Amino acid sequence: MVPPLFTTTVLSLYKPLLSCYSQLALEFAPHILADPFVTSRPPLLASQVLAELGPVLTGERDLATTAAAALEVVMAAVQASSGALFRFQEKPAMLSSIAAAGFAVFPQTAVFPLMPKHVHALLGAPGPQRISRDRSDIFLSSTGNISSVWFRCVVPLRVRGRLIGALLLGEREGGSEYSAENLKQVGDLAPFIGLAIYNHQLLMSLEERTAENLKLIASVHSFWDDALAGFAATIDSKSKEMHGHSLRVGRYSAGMAEALGLNPTEVGEMRASGYLHDIGKVTVDKHIFTKPSALDSGEFQEMADHTVVGHRIVSTVQFPWPHVPEVVRSHHERADGSGYPDRLRNDEMSMPVKIVAVADTFDAMLSERPYRKKMTLGEAAAQLSWLAPAKLDADVVQSLLIQLRRDAVSLMSPPRPWASSLERTRKPFLDPSIPCNISPTDIDHLVSELNHRTTRGRVFLT
């Protein structure tokens, strides 16, 4: 019989893991998921836990919040009056705190420098260990900025034989010793806490590596365009459905910028912004892209967070274009304030953001998704036009329709010999993979309807 509090504890710890890291868990710690305790409760995993994914833990993507929540449930499970969660850093070897509770005074970051014998002991301990004044130096040094005598129990956190951190528990409420049952409970939870820390570190290093690569490209300005196109292809390699998406969004954004009369530098900025708009998706769990049904709230949040993560990545890079970071953050904002992450309204969004929002929506409509079929060009143009001005900027949508019309016209009558050089050298707006099977007349209808809607039928004389 599993005590109810213990079950609750395990469920709470599963939440962040399942919602954010299930794929990584399978990859890096299959032994944990193969634990009989876990596999004996599939109905809980599938229905209760996933259904219970509340905004608090599912949204807890930053380590400090997840660590604090994990610490709280572990302390409650074994009636610890104080405790702290530490992560392990290899060079130099040390434990540094990421959450603490129940102490009257605690440093902002508590640190235990570790000697090889401490690392060895933490790696080799068969599970949670009681520590006393005379035993604490087996696992912890006395040279940190807190004293090891505050703790009564040390729980090494390991993933696949690697030391990830340690959970240190202080006195129990009432002053009694940690029982064998207490140690077992904490020992069963430890792999999940270790995995949460480990996965967070993986995600952070992915973010950091992506930013480093971008900085490298930024240092060689002459190769911007090709290099960013290569980068866009890397972002899109996340799933079959995304293949070519960022490249096409860059292409359409630049095309619309031209139609809006922006200068060549601004057109270049729009191309780069389109290439990079989804860069935050490098950290999104791969299975979410291929899920054949609608995303649940946790998965949706993880997907939506690509805007914030992407913004964090590009904000560390010195681009020759000032609008890239805000495009990355705000390309899912909508004119009526229904978008994310900041619920901006149309007048709070810059023109580059509005352009990439339209290009992104247009390409998504023309792309197959696991849960829906792609639209035809005519359907996408009509849908896009109907979304303005409530969701998308009307001028920007019109610039897309102008470029589509140019494609449609030049398909019907290729440029004559006496056409201007600009006309003769014009590249099609549409990606070559999309057949331009819409007539100029159909586009004229859409433009006329759009104008009618945005001016409420009034005609202005100029």
Q: Which stretch binds Fe ion (CB under 5 A): 211-219, 247-255, 271-279, 433-441?
A: 271-279
Site for Fe ion in 276-295 (CB under 5 A): 278
Count residues binding Fe ion (CB under 5 A).
1
Please identify, using beta-carbon distances, which residue of 111 and 229 lies nearer to Fe ion. Answer: 229
Q: Which is nearer to Fe ion, 206 or 364 (CB)?
A: 364
Shortest distance, CB of residue 329 to Fe ion, whole angstroms?
A: 10
C-beta of 199 vs 246, nearer to Fe ion? 246
CA distances to 130, 141, 285 from 262, in Å: 69, 63, 37
Query: Shortest approach of Fe ion to residue 331 CB, angstroms?
Result: 6
Among residues 236 and 278, whose Cβ is nearest to Fe ion?
278
Residues 343-372 contacting Fe ion, CB under 5 A: none
Q: How far is the CB of 459 from Fe ion (least distance, A)?
A: 38
- CA separation (Å) from 198 to 63, 68, 88, 165, 428? 10, 15, 10, 9, 47
Closer CB to Fe ion, residue 77 or residue 203? 203
For Fe ion, the closer CB: 278 or 326: 278
**138 or 295: CB nearest Fe ion:** 295
**CA distance linking residue 216 with residue 224, whole number of Å:** 10
> 356 vs 430, which CB is nearer to Fe ion?
356
* C-beta of 25 vs 309, nearer to Fe ion: 309
Q: How far is the CB of 299 from Fe ion (least distance, A)?
A: 15
| DSSP β-ladder status, 94-101 and 162-169 | unpaired
**Shortest distance in whole angstroms from residue 297 CB to Fe ion:** 18
* Shortest Å, Cβ 328 to Fe ion: 9
How far is it, in rounded angstroms, from Cα 183 to Cα 178? 7
Nearest to Fe ion of 278, 302 (CB atom): 278
Question: Smallest distance from the beta carbon of 360 to Fe ion, in angstroms?
Answer: 6
Minimum separation from the CB atom of position 302 to Fe ion (A): 13
From the CB of 278, what's the least distance to Fe ion, in Å? Answer: 4
Is residue 24 within 8 A of residue 89, CB to CB? The reply is no
Among the residue ranges 132-140, 178-186, 272-280, 315-323, the one whose residues contact Fe ion (CB under 5 A): 272-280
Q: Which stretch binds Fe ion (CB under 5 A): 86-94, 192-200, 273-281, 333-341?
A: 273-281
8 A C-beta contact, residue 178 and residue 130: yes
User: 150 or 252, CB closer to Fe ion?
Assistant: 252
Output the residue with the shortest Cβ distance to Fe ion.
278
Residue of 397, 369, 370 lying closest to 453 (CA atoms): 397
Closest CB 249 distance from Fe ion, rounded Å:
9
Closest distance to Fe ion from the beta carbon of 245 (Å): 9
Shortest approach of Fe ion to residue 244 CB, angstroms? 15
The three-state (H, E, C) secondary structure of the chain, written as one string: CCCHHHHHHHHHHHHHHHHHHHHHHHHHCHHHHCCHHHHCCHHHHHHHHHHCCCHHHHCCCCHHHHHHHHHHHHHHHCCECCEEEEEEECCCCEEEEEEEECCCCCCCCCEEECCHHHHHHHHHCCCCEECCCCCHHHCCCCCCCCCHHHCCEEEEEEECCEEEEEEEECCEHHHCCCCHHHHHHHHHHHHHHHHHHHHHHHHHHHHHHHHHHHHHHHCCHHHHHHHHHHHHHHHHCCCHHHCCHHHHHHHHHHHHHHHCCCCHHHHHHHHHHHHHCCHHHHHCCHHHHHCCCCCCHHHHHHHHCHHHHHHHHHCCCCCCCCCHHHHHHHCCCCCECCCCCCCCEHHHCCHHHHHHHHHHHHHHHCCCECCECCCCHHHHHHHHHHHCCCCCCHHHHHHHHHHHHHHHHHHHCCCCCCCCHHHHHCCCCCCCCCCCCCCHHHHHHHHHHHHHHHCCCCCCCC
Angle, helices 394-412/351-365, rounded to nearest 10 degrees? 50
Q: Which is nearer to Fe ion, 157 or 314 (CB)?
A: 314
Question: Site residues (CB under 5 A) for Fe ion?
Answer: 278
